[in-house]
Amino acid sequence: MAASDYTINFQNGSSTQPVTLPVGTYSFVSTTISGYADGGIAQFTVEPTSTSIALSISASGTLEVTVKDDLGNSITSGAMQLSNQSGGSLYGVEKAITNGVATFGNVPYTAAGIGFYVAQNGSDANHNAITTPQTVSMAQKSQTEAVLNERKTTSLNFTMADANYAGITPVTGALVVNG
């Protein structure tokens, strides 16, 4: 008896209706799931007591997140994490920021865009980490998103002295600090 093909339609990760399969071992190949790698033959077995089967496929997108400050300087350390909007559900493992870039592989995408978020789990000593998740809509197989780190600030008091005559304090005035 020849093997039969069964089409299982999915929506939001679940089959849209139950599929009746005879007991046995099956293989599947993903070929029409947008944003996911074609191929990946995998097997699963249906037992007389089976009520559900969990399958997994690998996405084929790459997301590069560049992290710089308002002066265009790259952040030198820290980590980025994919998450849901609140940051409460984390996806995968965090990625180190190296030379201002964190790269995520195997990210799903569709032409309409798949929405998720990135948050920063730390930064270098001179910058504040972006702890509020930032929106990303993955619409291309290879995509670059930029996030901006604020430079840390410090409250300072200044004193001024005459450069040529010690002990003489300039009267009153203002200097413009640029940078």
The CATH class given to the 61-151 domain equals: mainly beta
Q: Which pLDDT tens digit goes with each residue over 17-37?
A: 998 899 999 888 777 787 877
Say what the pTM is. Answer: 0.76
Q: Domains of the chain: which residue ranges? A: 1-58, 61-151
What's the average model confidence in pLDDT over 34-44? 75
* pLDDT for the residue 39: 64
SS (H, E, C) the chain: CCCCCCCCCEECCEECCCCCCCCEEEEEEECCCCCECCEEEEEEEECCCCCCCCCCCCECEEEEEEEEECCCCECCCCEEEEECCCCCCEEEEEEECECCEEEEEEECCCCCCEEEEEEECCCCCCEECCCCCEEEEECCCEEEEEEEEEECCCCCCCCCCCCCCCCCCCCCCCCCCCC
Report the mean per-residue pLDDT for the chain.
88
Q: Which pLDDT tens digit goes with each residue over 101-148?
A: 999 999 999 888 888 899 898 899 999 998 889 999 999 999 999 999
